[in-house]
Amino acid sequence: MLVQIRQVLTREEVAHCRRMLEAAAWVDGRQTAGEQSAKAKLNLQVPENGPASRELGDLILRALGRTPLFSSAALPLRVYPPMFNRYDTGMKFGAHVDNAIRYVPGTNGFRMRADVSSTLFLTDPEDYDGGELVVEDTYGTHAVKLPAGDMVVYPATSLHRVNEITRGSRWGCFFWTQSMVKDDGQRAFLYDMDMAIIGLRQALPDDHPSVLALTASYHNLLRRWAEM
């Protein structure tokens, strides 16, 4: 399941992120990659424990908290501290699958499962050529290139890549979520149900029997499948 979420950040928040990142130190992105991913990765990142990452990470987490569609799609239990990367001309990230388990920085070895991957775009599409996020799933191949402030959410089990930049620079934020529902199929089913419930509520009163019945079924399935 691939879900695009519009305007996670306002234009003012995007501009603030860009100003802070322009003043930040950048390091080789392979420092945070696994053994397999490091062979395919050519980009730059802001150090995870640097002040820019911490401040902007908090901003992103607050933005997620006001974004209901992210909660519906990811059903988050834990969110890995957001990280920030850039792809300049000639940079790319070859096909790979994200690591299943992540050690959370700043903790005493705490680990979380990466169920859902998210990429939040901080550069508008017209400012660079190439740089599409290409995600492969059971429904085919999807190339994603969104306006600054928009985000895409997709299963961390997906094979994906970032195409080579041929002009300009692509800046973004990325992170992983441990979902309450680790199975991709079950999570997608619940997302579809939630969207159907929202549609029904727009057409019918909240106390309509069909709204109540579908809402009850959603929560009972979530109760059955959720891991806390």
Binding region for Fe cation: 96, 98, 160
What element of type H or E holds 69? helix 68-74
Binding region for 2-oxoglutarate: 170
Residue 5: what residue type?
I
Judge contact between 34 and 5, C-beta under 8 A. Answer: no
Question: Encoding tokens for residue 57?
Answer: 């990470």
Binding region: 96, 98, 160, 170
Instruction: Compute φ and ψ for 134, nearest 5 degrees.
Output: -110, 120
Q: Give the orientation angle of helix 209-225 with respect to helix 184-203, to 10 degrees.
A: 160
Residue 176: what residue type?
W
